[in-house]
Structure 1
């Protein structure tokens, strides 16, 4: 629920996603990172007169927003890349979360006079997990090496599970329901292992069901239900819903090649739209949290609050840098130098600066109860909310705005990697086309009655695919700068498709064909046009 918005303000429920989509669209048009633009827009709107108070309900974030976002990221991630970097991902998603919880928690306890140790550790657990959405989008756009992107994505997938478990343990100590180090470690191990088991048990039957439905819409509906089912089932057995969602997403994403082509096309488009809307709304809501966060702080001096906020932000950033530098050499000590996750100091700087916090931290902060088990007010709740908001905001604005410039300054782009990918793709396309030609020859030998013109057209198409794969290495131009045949083919074919499309539409408008006929023929044209597109 969103507190403060009643039935008479129902238009605000529509205004939030509409404004979020509009701001995100403008940000994409002007090349600005959408999360940063959305947070700033939310801050501006929160100061406007007449705007109601929007307060994030933790259950909405954890049960509605988080599962599909995690599932989509896991679905699109490479299982093999994750496996190859499992030690680096584990060091960040588990070790760094624990280290940040302790360092930030004790720093807040020492710096803030009114904050007891237990609530300070709660604050540390809240601020421990970075949200890599903004960092990954910038890293991919600027061509950061794949291994660093994989580590950032893997960290963002698994660190929420660690942080939420540590948060619950710290919160239990703060409210006085009992806590021991052994109990906390046992709870964490159980949540992680049981969550992975739930994800592994759920993935195969869902994949089996999807491959036998033979209906693209129903298959993608099953995929949509998967993250919510995994999260709820895991939470029912007190396991980590985050890990369950991630594991099931990795499994189903790894097996997506078993689905029909039309199912993959629809699913790819659906998840892109879904993630775009959810992320836009989430980051706008972060900016709108300022009024609720400021409630209850009127009796505190703004100078002290600013100093505490700056100090907690600084320690949060420092904790990541310290951990990244310290653990980057550990694989070398174990004799496994090939697993070293950062190639040089530049890579470590980039990873260290990619620590933007997000909505999970805010949701955890708002989940803090108002009273302890003894009925007393939770000590420092308003202060924890304020420090969480200021740190989330500072990381998004300070680190987010400077992250692209840092990548360019460090010169860690993956130019060679992209060229190697292009060469590998060309080789794979060549091999695939050769296999297609071999199969065509087999079919021709088995059935001598095949139409010769059809066979020749298919053979020519396969040969063109072979040539097109290698022409792509030239970036669409030949040695003399002229347009290569494959680029000419795509350009001319797009113009022909546009002429066909206009003809079909004109015939529909003249009532010579029905809308259903138009939909079928346009779908075929759209599929062909999509197949012509190259990033």
Structure 2
């Protein structure tokens, strides 16, 4: 690698970090500003000789960017909440993707009769899966209810598997490989089932391994490899690598409290940084693709291309709205069990979900991965770019306005979280005191009563400021020193608190977010007790 190539590799992430810093400083939407900056820089720099161009490599996106982004999102999700919204998530991640594929494919074939129907369906599969990164970022910043965020996150985790499977079937049919509807169905079932099985198998093995590892650096070094191992293992047997990665991430995220506190603390910070870095680079890359894509449209009628672009963009947006509204209300009308078990959805929540359909880099990567001799490849690539940037800019810019206009907020959930957190802290402190009494009440520990009293006071107050780390372990006569006694007893109390909190999460008395927040405080305190 020469110096010029190395410099090009540094310039892209450095520029992304700088633009993201400005966006965060000003309180703007980071994904939208990065896309706009990429568009502007790409158009200005394209005519200048010597300025590097950054063509989006589909293999790099699908092998390097997608697995860790999916894994990080899955780790941070809630298995229990996803289980609660499995029906709407399934309707969006499977039903809506296939519906959008059909709508866009039929419309494109009707507008361009010379384009084979299979190629038109390939375009539909390419633009069908929304990327909820931008939507969820805005939703969390503006305080959307947790259920809405969970639905959007769940959709983004699972829809890529559906879309990429449909994409492969459509591309195979377009290039002359005969594929019947029955073949397509079995291909989809094999890909989804295989990805699920491989994901569960890897999750079980890795989960057992993590329970036995105590070194946080080793644990997280392995964690860095997990998304790539899960993805490549599944893809090697031609099943869904996306689904495999998501299953592993959700499983390990749910069982994270069985790993060491050090591994959890390092993992939290590590994946936040990785997630942030990859996302900003991806969004900047999206904007930079315009000059490269325009080169392939030379000789085509610009008015025809503009008409196709507007029609496909509108079809993508309208198809989501048309699917979401009956998908929310029709099952309630048809099935009494759903009406009894699920609260009635509000119109505001339905509107937010219907408008949160921003596309992302997976769509562009799939378009770039089309074979060079694919019918109307350059046109399909441009239409994909229009849908991706159009949804990011149009829906992305209007999404905060819609949320504010509808008055959607999570204030009630925040209040309930505070109440449940207070109850959880009280229950955990009670468990810690009970464990302390169990360890000290039998008269074994008769000296250093001030240590026991200090622990008792701290558990009652639950002061989160950690005590200064103490040294020592065994005194000159072989007896346990006060500092060693303090650490041993406090660790036992923290473990008792953690067990109660996890049990309350499993019993649905507190949410995963509350559990993460409280246990992170316990992990910080336990970290101060550790000896170097």
Aligned partner of 2:335 in structure 1 is 334
26-35 vs 341-350, which moves further: 341-350
Aligned partner of 2:193 in structure 1 is 193
Pair 1:445-2:447 in alignment: no
Aligned partner of 1:476 in structure 2 is none
Seen in structure 2, the aligned counterparts of structure 1 residues 59 and 331 have a Cα distance that, compared at 3 Å, is same
Return the match for 2:369 from 367, 370, 374.
367
Q: Structure 2 matches for 1:132-281, cutoff 5 A?
A: 132-281=132-281
C-alpha separation in 1, matches of 2:51 and 2:527: 43
- Checking the alignment, whether the CA contact within 8 Å between 1:368 and 1:381 is kept in structure 2 is yes
Aligned partner of 2:360 in structure 1 is 358
Q: TM-score, normalization: structure 2?
A: 0.84
- Checking the alignment, whether the CA contact within 8 Å between 2:106 and 2:117 is kept in structure 1 is yes
Aligned partner of 1:69 in structure 2 is 69
C-alpha separation in 1, matches of 2:340 and 2:35: 39
Residues 348-379 of structure 1 deviation map (CA, whole Å, 9 limit, x = unaligned): 110011000000000000010012xxxxxx22
C-alpha separation in 2, matches of 1:135 and 1:397: 11
Seen in structure 2, the aligned counterparts of structure 1 residues 123 and 265 have a Cα distance that, compared at 3 Å, is same
Give the 3-state SS of the residue equivalent to 1:157 in structure 2: helix
How many residue pairs get aligned? The number is: 468
Moved over 4 A (4+): 338-342, 526-531
Give the 3-state SS of the residue equivalent to 1:328 in structure 2: helix
Pair 1:464-2:465 in alignment: no
C-alpha separation in 1, matches of 2:379 and 2:144: 37
Give the 3-state SS of the residue equivalent to 1:295 in structure 2: helix
C-alpha separation in 1, matches of 2:292 and 2:113: 23
Seen in structure 2, the aligned counterparts of structure 1 residues 449 and 179 have a Cα distance that, compared at 3 Å, is same
C-alpha separation in 1, matches of 2:142 and 2:527: 24
How far 1:530 sits from its partner (Å)? 10
Give the 3-state SS of the residue equivalent to 2:296 in structure 1: coil
- Checking the alignment, whether the CA contact within 8 Å between 2:328 and 2:345 is kept in structure 1 is no
Q: Structure 2 matches for 1:291-330, cutoff 5 A?
A: 291-330=291-330
209-218 vs 179-188, which moves further: 209-218
How far 1:304 sits from its partner (Å)? 2.2
C-alpha separation in 1, matches of 2:525 and 2:329: 50
Residues 417-445 of structure 1 deviation map (CA, whole Å, 9 limit, x = unaligned): 11101100100001111111122222221
- Checking the alignment, whether the CA contact within 8 Å between 2:115 and 2:376 is kept in structure 1 is yes
How far 1:205 sits from its partner (Å)? 1.0
50-59 vs 336-345, which moves further: 336-345
Seen in structure 2, the aligned counterparts of structure 1 residues 529 and 457 have a Cα distance that, compared at 3 Å, is closer
Residues 379-400 of structure 1 deviation map (CA, whole Å, 9 limit, x = unaligned): 2111000000011000000000
Pair 1:454-2:441 in alignment: no
Aligned partner of 1:427 in structure 2 is 423
- Checking the alignment, whether the CA contact within 8 Å between 1:45 and 1:51 is kept in structure 2 is no
- Checking the alignment, whether the CA contact within 8 Å between 2:214 and 2:263 is kept in structure 1 is no
C-alpha separation in 2, matches of 1:213 and 1:438: 28
C-alpha separation in 2, matches of 1:61 and 1:193: 24
C-alpha separation in 2, matches of 1:338 and 1:223: 41
- Checking the alignment, whether the CA contact within 8 Å between 2:262 and 2:527 is kept in structure 1 is no
How far 1:118 sits from its partner (Å)? 2.0
C-alpha separation in 1, matches of 2:342 and 2:124: 28
- Checking the alignment, whether the CA contact within 8 Å between 1:148 and 1:342 is kept in structure 2 is no
**Runs of 5+ unmatched residues, structure 2:** 470-522
Seen in structure 2, the aligned counterparts of structure 1 residues 40 and 6 have a Cα distance that, compared at 3 Å, is farther
Aligned partner of 2:12 in structure 1 is 16
Give the 3-state SS of the residue equivalent to 1:329 in structure 2: helix
Pair 1:417-2:418 in alignment: no
- Checking the alignment, whether the CA contact within 8 Å between 2:213 and 2:260 is kept in structure 1 is no
Seen in structure 2, the aligned counterparts of structure 1 residues 19 and 117 have a Cα distance that, compared at 3 Å, is same
Give the 3-state SS of the residue equivalent to 2:403 in structure 1: helix
Give the 3-state SS of the residue equivalent to 1:300 in structure 2: coil
- Checking the alignment, whether the CA contact within 8 Å between 1:195 and 1:244 is kept in structure 2 is yes
How far 1:53 sits from its partner (Å)? 2.4
Aligned partner of 1:84 in structure 2 is 84
- Checking the alignment, whether the CA contact within 8 Å between 1:88 and 1:341 is kept in structure 2 is no
How far 1:338 sits from its partner (Å)? 5.0
C-alpha separation in 1, matches of 2:389 and 2:283: 10
